Amino acid sequence: MTRCRQIRLDWSEHEGRACLRVRGWTADELREHTGFAQLVPHLAVLPSELTKAGLDLRALQPVAGRFVLDGGAVCFIPRFPFLDGAGYSLLLFPASADGRGDPETWTIQRPARTGVPETTVVAIYPTTDELPVNQLKLYVHFSHPMSEGWAARAVHVLRLDTHERLADVFLRMEPELWDPDRKRLTLLLDPGRIKRGLIPNQEAGYPLTEGAPVVVTIDASFRDATGRPLRAGAEQRYQVGPVLLARIDPVKWRLQQPAAGSTDPLTVEFDRPLDHALLQHCLWINDAAGAPLAGQASVGQGERSWRFQPQSPWKEGHHSVIVDPRLEDLAGNSLMRVFDRDLTRAEDTPADARHVAIDFMPRAALQKSRYLSSKRAWRSDHVPPSSAALHCVAILSGARNLPPFLGLPPSLVRASTWPSPWSRHMGTPPKTARNSTL
Q: What is the DSSP string of 207-252?
A: SS-TT--EEEEE-TT--BTTS---SS-EEEEEEEE--------GGG
Is 436 inside any structural domain?
no
Q: Is 424 helix (H, G, I), strand (E, B) or coil?
A: helix
Q: In angstroms, rounded to a whole number, what is the distance separating the alpha carbons of residues 297 and 276?
A: 12
**pLDDT over 60 (residue 410):** no
Is 430 inside any structural domain?
no
Please identify, among 67, 87, 109, the residue that sits at the C-terminal boundary of a domain.
Answer: 109
- Residue 34: DSSP 8-state: T
Lowest average pLDDT, out of 61-75, 339-353, 400-414, goes to 400-414
Lowest average pLDDT, out of 4-18, 309-323, 375-389, goes to 375-389
- Residue closest to 170 by CA, chosen among 136, 132, 221, 215: 136
Q: In angstroms, rounded to a whole number, what is the distance separating the alpha carbons of residues 243 and 385?
A: 35
Residue 214: beta bridge partners?
159, 238
Is 114 inside any structural domain?
no
pLDDT 10s digits, 1-58: 445 568 899 999 998 889 999 988 766 665 555 456 667 788 899 988 888 767 788 8
Contact status, residue 90 vs residue 22, Cβ threshold 8 Å: yes
How many CA atoms within 13 Å lie on the side-chain side of 191? 9
Answer yes or no: do 261 and 400 share one domain: yes
% of the chain beyond a pLDDT of 70: 77
Contact status, residue 326 vs residue 279, Cβ threshold 8 Å: no
Is 42 inside any structural domain?
yes
In which band, very low, low, confident or very high, does the pLDDT at 393 lie, cut at 50, 70 and 90? very low
Contact status, residue 154 vs residue 208, Cβ threshold 8 Å: no
Please identify, among 54, 77, 109, the residue that sits at the C-terminal boundary of a domain.
Answer: 109
Q: What is the mean pLDDT of residues 74-94?
A: 88
CATH of the domain at 232: 2.60.40.1220
Answer yes or no: do 291 and 407 share one domain: yes
Contact status, residue 367 vs residue 318, Cβ threshold 8 Å: no
> Residue 69: what pLDDT?
85
Q: In angstroms, rounded to a whole number, what is the distance separating the alpha carbons of residues 346 and 226?
A: 53
Asked whether the whole model's pTM tops 0.85, one would answer no
Is 310 inside any structural domain?
yes
In which band, very low, low, confident or very high, does the pLDDT at 424 lie, cut at 50, 70 and 90? very low
Q: In angstroms, rounded to a whole number, what is the distance separating the alpha carbons of residues 411 and 397?
A: 9
Lowest average pLDDT, out of 40-44, 173-177, 376-380, goes to 376-380
Answer yes or no: do 97 and 203 share one domain: no
Number of compact structural domains in the chain: 3
Q: In angstroms, rounded to a whole number, what is the distance separating the alpha carbons of residues 202 and 420?
A: 39
> Residue 414: what pLDDT?
60
Lowest average pLDDT, out of 61-65, 206-210, 386-390, 410-414, goes to 386-390
Q: State the sign of the Cα–Cα–Cα–Cα dihedral 50, 154, 429, 356.
A: positive
Is 433 inside any structural domain?
no
- Bigger pLDDT: 235 or 80? 235
DSSP alpha helices (H): ranges in 41-129? 48-51
Answer yes or no: do 256 and 347 share one domain: yes
In which band, very low, low, confident or very high, does the pLDDT at 213 lie, cut at 50, 70 and 90? very high
For residue 175, whether the previous peptide bond is cis, meaning omega lies within 30 degrees of 0, is: yes
Answer yes or no: do 225 and 80 share one domain: no
Q: What is the mean pLDDT of residues 182-203?
A: 93
Answer yes or no: do 98 and 168 share one domain: no
Give the CA angle between residues 264, 267, 273 to the nearest 5°.
155
Lowest average pLDDT, out of 52-61, 184-193, 208-217, goes to 52-61
Residue numbers of the domain that contains 312: 250-425
**pLDDT over 80 (residue 377):** no
Q: In angstroms, rounded to a whole number, what is the distance separating the alpha carbons of residues 437 and 225?
A: 25
| Radius of gyration of the chain, Cα coordinates, nearest whole angstrom | 28
Q: Is 368 helix (H, G, I), strand (E, B) or coil?
A: helix
Lowest average pLDDT, out of 55-59, 163-167, 372-376, goes to 372-376
Answer yes or no: do 45 and 73 share one domain: yes
Answer yes or no: do 415 and 280 share one domain: yes
**pLDDT over 50 (residue 416):** yes
Answer yes or no: do 266 and 409 share one domain: yes
Answer yes or no: do 75 and 148 share one domain: no
Q: In angstroms, rounded to a whole number, what is the distance separating the alpha carbons of residues 225 and 283?
A: 32
What are the angstrom distances between the C-alpha of 199 and each of 192, 244, 340, 438?
7, 20, 14, 39
**pLDDT over 80 (residue 438):** no
Lowest average pLDDT, out of 51-55, 90-94, 145-149, goes to 51-55
- Residue closest to 436 by CA, chosen among 292, 285, 297, 313: 297
Is 1 inside any structural domain?
no
Answer yes or no: do 257 and 237 share one domain: no
Lowest average pLDDT, out of 206-215, 272-281, 356-365, 416-425, goes to 416-425
**pLDDT over 80 (residue 324):** yes
Please identify, among 208, 241, 274, the residue that sits at the C-terminal boundary of a domain.
Answer: 241
Answer yes or no: do 275 and 415 share one domain: yes
Is 214 inside any structural domain?
yes
Mean pLDDT, all residues of the chain: 80
Cα 401 off chain centre by: 41
